């Protein structure tokens, strides 16, 4: 009888078609998720004009989705470790597709906010699950790169919303870009058929044949045999209270620092996503030009995510993040001052790279920090707690816009959280991460594991 260590099997795998399939589906889901999230900010000036709402009221309307995201990230991130990640992802896609489309069918601010709250449950819930999925099935040497590459779909979704917004808002009305968000519901049957289930969940459910098939696809060096017994290191086994495990084994302080970093970064991301169009329009730019800046913001976010992931696989991910947060503080603050148009585009791109891109790298870091069995829970709680920053951002910036403060003060308020996030990340105890502990001999499971021969890297 062989004892197969699933964690090591995943770590030592070489990238193949199985990993490519997981990357494709997770990235596609994130593209849809990013579109649903960005569409409210893109359409905000048109919604305000059509519904006759004030900037402060519009801030609350945008925050309704973010409030739902907080609950969705915590609940659907945590429950995925119990009902299976594949089903949880399908539920999330159904929620954000159906209710974002439904928001385009109403002209009442209250009903709009309710639908956006329900859509937010799915938007928030899908993020921790796809990050956990991609982290679990990525080879260790490519883990940060693949997670951030997957999450760059978030920026692609934002760019798609901006492109469709430029073509549809003035001709078909703001409702059209919301109705288009209902199409991803058609992907659910394909997701349930094509997406692999979480390995700890299959092991806990004693679905060993399915686990063998996935393991063989993930790492072809593994050859299934009748007597195989799958094991996980003790820290990766699904046992005990999931939330409590985030604070055990010395992880409590770092968990709190992750929560602070998520709060601050999501504040910046949603402040820019929700109000950049309006702020730039108020500064004298046309709606088309302001939407172009949103496109640049998300393109910068995509480059920042991929570039940050590449750097994180080659240097200390914590140090990479601290540098990215510092860049955010500088670039966002400078947006409030008059600059030549070319420099403005550069600054907006850097702001996207260091906020949207940085948030994605932070997701990759928290995904690597926690044990496999509570990975979705850890990501879900960090994301959920961080959503309070996302909820506050449209309201706070909307209030500042309503006060008619100078433009530089609005952007300074968006940039200050980057400094706080940089300090929080620098205090994370990286040596307690799941990856670092996995490498330590004393952290290995008591049962011996078969180490499959893989090519030297």
Give this prediction's pTM: 0.69
End-to-end Cα distance, the chain: 29
82 Cβ neighbours under 8 A, 6+ residues apart: none
What's the CATH code of the domain at 72? 1.20.1250.20
Which ranges of 226-340 does DSSP label H, i.e. alpha helix? Answer: 242-245, 252-282, 287-312, 317-334
Each residue's pLDDT expressed in tens, for the chain with a length of 457 residues: 567 777 777 778 888 888 899 999 999 998 988 888 778 777 777 777 777 777 777 777 777 887 888 788 778 877 777 788 888 999 999 998 999 899 888 888 888 889 989 998 998 888 888 888 888 888 878 877 888 788 778 778 877 887 787 777 777 877 888 888 888 899 999 999 888 888 878 877 788 788 888 888 888 887 877 777 766 655 544 444 456 667 766 777 888 899 999 999 988 888 887 777 777 766 666 656 666 777 788 788 888 888 888 888 788 888 899 999 999 999 988 887 777 878 888 988 998 888 888 888 888 888 778 776 677 678 778 877 887 887 788 778 777 777 776 777 878 888 899 999 999 988 887 665 554 444 443 333 333 333 343 333 3
Total structural domains within the chain: 1
Q: Give the pair of three-digit tokens for residue 165.
A: 């917004």
Instruction: Judge whether 454 lies within some domain.
Output: no
Residue at 449 is within a domain: no
Strands 229-231 and 3-5: parallel
In a domain, 456, yes or no: no
Domain containing 127 equals 3-443
CA 212 to chain CA centroid, nearest Å: 29
Does residue 108 sit within a domain?
A: yes
């Amino acid at each position: 009888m062989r004892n197969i260590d699933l964690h090591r099997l995943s770590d030592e795998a070489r990238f193949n078609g199985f990993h490519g399939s997981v990357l494709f589906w997770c990235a596609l889901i994130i593209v849809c998720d990013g579109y649903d999230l960005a569409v409210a900010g893109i359409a905000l000036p048109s919604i305000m004009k059509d519904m006759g709402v004030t900037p402060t009221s519009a801030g609350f309307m945008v925050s309704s989705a973010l409030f739902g995201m907080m609950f969705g990230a915590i609940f659907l991130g945590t429950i995925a470790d119990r009902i299976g990640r594949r089903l949880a992802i399908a539920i999330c896609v159904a929620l954000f597709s159906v209710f974002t489309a439904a928001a385009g069918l109403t002209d009442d601010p209250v009903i709009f906010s309710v639908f956006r709250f329900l859509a937010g449950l799915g938007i928030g819930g899908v993020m921790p699950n796809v990050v956990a999925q991609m982290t679990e099935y990525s080879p260790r040497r490519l883990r940060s790169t693949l997670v951030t590459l997957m999450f760059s779909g978030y920026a692609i979704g934002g760019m798609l919303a901006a492109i469709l917004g430029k073509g549809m808002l003035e001709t078909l009305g703001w409702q059209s870009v919301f109705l288009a968000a209902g199409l991803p519901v058609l992907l659910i049957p394909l997701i349930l058929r094509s997406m692999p289930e979480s390995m700890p969940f299959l092991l806990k459910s004693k679905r060993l044949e399915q686990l063998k098939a996935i393991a063989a696809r993930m790492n072809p060096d593994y050859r299934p045999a009748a007597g195989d017994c799958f094991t996980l290191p003790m820290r990766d086994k699904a046992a005990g209270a999931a939330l409590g495990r985030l604070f055990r084994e010395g992880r409590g302080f770092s968990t709190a620092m992750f929560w602070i970093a998520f709060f601050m970064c999501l504040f910046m991301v949603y402040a820019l996503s929700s109000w950049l169009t309006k702020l730039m329009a108020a500064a004298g730019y046309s709606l088309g030009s302001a939407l172009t800046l949103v496109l640049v913001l998300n393109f910068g976010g995509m480059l920042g995510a991929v570039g940050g992931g590449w750097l994180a696989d080659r240097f200390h991910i914590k140090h990479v993040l601290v540098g990215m947060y510092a860049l955010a503080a500088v670039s966002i603050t400078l947006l409030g001052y008059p600059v030549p148009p070319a420099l403005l585009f550069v600054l907006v791109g850097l702001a996207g790279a260091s906020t949207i891109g940085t948030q994605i790298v932070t997701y990759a870091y928290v995904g690597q920090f926690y044990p496999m069995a509570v990975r979705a829970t850890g990501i879900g709680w960090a994301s959920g707690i961080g959503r309070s920053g996302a909820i506050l951002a449209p309201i706070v910036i909307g209030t500042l816009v309503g006060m008619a403060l100078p433009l530089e003060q609005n952007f300074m308020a968006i940039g200050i959280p980057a400094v706080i996030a940089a300090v929080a990340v620098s205090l994370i105890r990286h040596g307690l991460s799941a990856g670092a502990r996995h490498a330590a001999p004393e952290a290995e499971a008591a049962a011996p594991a078969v180490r499959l021969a893989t090519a030297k890297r």
